[in-house]
């Protein structure tokens, strides 16, 4: 539970900075927040008709080995997830959530509660899917590079992580339905 509080504390700087009212600073900050939100919701991998579109974040993963080492550590930790939140690197934090989700029931609860808290700010069902498709296919647990091309060697792990994302999304949808029911009762 203590970890959940640390995760939620990461929201406060974003909320406070979004509430600033200085004209010029507010306009500049609004543009920065809009760009950040656009980047946050960008799909990592998108298929349009006969084309595959690779987003900026996935390009960074493909090109930067040191970044890959950060995104795909040997062990995913809450400390790193909270650091990503502190730095407003939410996409990376959510990738860590997906990987921490399966460790134990406590982690599941913390991840679900944290994701539901963020659902008040973002469309977390879409966000979790985007995060999965951005990072999962280059995950060294899942994919190896053979002759310069990615080859999925552990589809079972890929399917397990996708199942976890689906479970999280099911919690989001159930929560939204509960919120609508509560609003209708008032």
Residue ranges per structural domain of the chain: 2-185
If you average pLDDT over every residue of the chain, what do you get? 81
Of 42, 21, 22, whose CA–CA distance to 130 is shortest?
A: 42
The pLDDT, as a whole number, for residue 24 is: 52
Look up the pTM and report it. 0.76
3-state SS, residue 143 = strand
pLDDT tens-place string over residues 48-83? 777 777 788 888 988 889 999 999 999 999 999 999
d(CA 30, CA 18): 7
């Amino acid at each position: 539970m203590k970890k959940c509080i640390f995760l939620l504390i990461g929201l406060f700087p974003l909320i406070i900075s979004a509430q600033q009212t200085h004209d010029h600073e507010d306009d500049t900050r609004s543009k920065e927040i809009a760009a950040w939100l656009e980047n946050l919701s960008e799909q990592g991998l998108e298929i349009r008709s006969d084309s595959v579109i690779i987003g900026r974040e996935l390009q960074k993963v493909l090109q930067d080995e040191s970044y890959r080492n950060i995104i795909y550590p040997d062990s995913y930790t809450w400390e790193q997830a909270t650091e990503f939140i502190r730095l407003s690197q939410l996409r990376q934090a959510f990738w860590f959530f997906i990987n921490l989700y399966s460790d134990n029931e406590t982690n599941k609860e913390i991840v679900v509660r944290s994701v539901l808290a963020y659902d008040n700010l973002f469309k977390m069902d879409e966000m979790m899917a985007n995060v999965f498709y951005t990072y999962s296919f280059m995950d060294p647990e899942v994919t190896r590079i053979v002759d310069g091309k990615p080859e999925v060697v552990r589809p079972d792990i890929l399917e397990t992580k996708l199942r976890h994302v689906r479970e999280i999304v099911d919690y989001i949808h159930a929560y939204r339905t509960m919120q609508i029911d509560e609003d209708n009762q008032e």
